[in-house]
Amino acid sequence: MTIRTIGVPMDLGADRRGVDMGPSAIRYAGLSATLDDIDRSTVDRGDLTVPHAEERDPERAATNAKYLPEVEAICTRLADEVDDTLADGALPLVLGGDHSIAIGTLAGAARDAEIGAVWFDAHSDINTPATTPSGNVHGMPLAAALGLGEFADTPWANAPNLSEENVAIVGLRSVDDPERERIRDSDVTAYTMSDIDERGVVDVTEEALAVATDGVDGIHVSLDMDWLDPSHAPGVGTPVRGGVTYREAHSAMELVADHDDALRSLEVVEVNPILDSHNETAELATELAASALGKRVL
Ligand SMILES: NC(=[NH2+])NCCC[C@H](N)C(=O)O
Ligand SMILES: [Mn+2]
Ligand SMILES: [Mn+2]
């Protein structure tokens, strides 16, 4: 199946500028050659146009959901792109940009199918404008997609055919208090780093994939590069110590590839080249995308 790359140079959902250069850094790291190597035909659709923060009214950055009108415009376009890509029989590979873009990817992937989602992340990204400590929308995409809290009133942000029962978050180690409560009150399945310590990444990821794929047409896999330990992925805006290792990340992505019949869309987000060292986080993002799409040693 053809892979269609969609770049979203978005940083309005995150506090730190620089994550808008993520798609470019990932391409520079050799994404298309790497995917060609594994016999996946790829088409690059280029980047969506994202306004610069400097062109916007600074007032928009002073709310409890910064630049939400811009996030809405971009995610609405991204949802259309993802939906068109799927309608053409291709697999969307979305390159971020900050994690707010998952609102668009999920909405597009869930437009014509029941979907599940596996969320590889240090954070649970399930805040709402009422609970966010930062106002950054990249901390809210799961709540938005699931229509939780204030997002119940913003249909553009919801993924119509995604239910909590089919959402699994893997690798948590930074959860805000209201997020903890929301996860407890929901049917979302969440695995912390302690679960990975105790059970191993293979067991946990297998279970997460089973949760996500149960009874649905396909799954979305969202890979936030801060899922990895900052020693392997220093180029992210919100690093948290104690993440998965290089090897663990590859094992998990190889398990995703084992479910290629279910994989409907893949997204790699939060690569921030200005915080990176010699593009190593973008290179790792490229490698991990390739593992998720079927690259093997032998
Ligand atoms: N996609 C991310 N990197 N999210 C980080 C979120 C951090 C924090 N929980 C917040 O809401 O601001
Ligand atoms: Mn994160
Ligand atoms: Mn995230």
- pLDDT per position as a tens digit, 282-298: 999 999 999 999 999 98
ipTM tops 0.95: yes
Closest CA to 159 of 116, 211, 214: 116
Kindly indicate the confidence band of residue 122, based on its pLDDT and cuts at 50, 70 and 90.
very high
Answer yes or no: is 189 within a domain.
yes
Q: Reply yes or no on whether 224 is catalytic.
A: yes
Would you state the pLDDT for residue 291?
98
Does residue 10 form part of some domain?
yes
- CATH code at position 36: 3.40.800.10
Among residues 138, 220, 250, 259, the one annotated as catalytic is 138
The verdict on whether residue 224 carries a ligand-binding annotation is yes
In a domain, 298, yes or no: no
Beta-carbon-side half-sphere exposure of residue 89 (alpha carbons within 13 Å): 2
**Interval 152-198: pLDDT, tens:** 999 999 999 999 999 999 999 999 999 999 999 999 999 999 999 99
Active site residue 217: no
Residue 180's pLDDT is: 98
Among residues 11, 121, 179, 254, which one is catalytic? 121
Considering only CA atoms, which residue is closest to atom 11 of ligand 1?
A: 139
User: Which residues make Cβ contacts (< 8 Å) with residue 161, sequence separation at least 6?
Assistant: 110, 111, 113, 114, 115
Asked whether 134 lines ligand 1 (CB < 6 A), one says yes
Residue 65 lies in a domain: yes
Q: Quick one: pLDDT at residue 16?
A: 77
pLDDT tens profile 225-277: 999 999 999 999 999 999 999 999 999 999 999 999 999 999 999 999 999 99
Q: Is 52 a catalytic residue?
A: no
- 278: Cβ contacts below 8 Å, ≥ 6 apart: none
Confirm whether 269 is domain-assigned.
Answer: yes
Q: State residue 17's pLDDT score.
A: 87
Q: Which of the residue ranges 53-62, 104-113, 232-241, 266-275 would you say has the lowest mean pLDDT?
A: 53-62
* 123 is known to lie in a ligand binding site: yes
Q: Confidence band (pLDDT; 50, 70, 90) for 60?
A: confident
The finding on whether 182 has its CB within 6 A of some atom of ligand 1 is: no
Question: Is 133 a pocket residue for ligand 1 (Cβ < 6 Å)?
Answer: yes
What is residue 58's predicted lDDT score, i.e. its pLDDT?
Answer: 86
pLDDT given at position 59:
86
**Distance of CA 259 to CAs 6, 195, 204, Å?**
22, 22, 15
Residue with the smallest CA separation from ligand 1 atom 8 is: 139
What value does the mean pLDDT of the chain take? 97
pLDDT digit string (tens) for 22-40?
A: 999 999 999 999 999 898 8
Total domains present in the chain = 1
In a domain, 102, yes or no: yes
Q: Give domain status of residue 297, yes or no.
A: no
The residue range of the domain holding 91 is: 3-292
Q: Distances in Å between the alpha carbon of 181 and those of 93, 127, 224, 238, 292?
A: 32, 10, 22, 22, 31
Task: Kindly give, in sequence order, each residue whose CB lies less than 8 Å from that of residue 211, ignoring residues fewer than 6 positions away.
Answer: 116, 165, 166, 167, 168, 189
Per cent of the chain over pLDDT 90 is 93
Distance (Å) from CA 136 to ligand 1 centroid: 7
> Among 138, 142, 151, 222, which is best to mutate for testing ligand 1, by the most ligand atoms less than 8 A from CB?
138
* Conformation bin of residue 107: beta by default, left when phi > 0, alpha when psi is -120 to 50: alpha
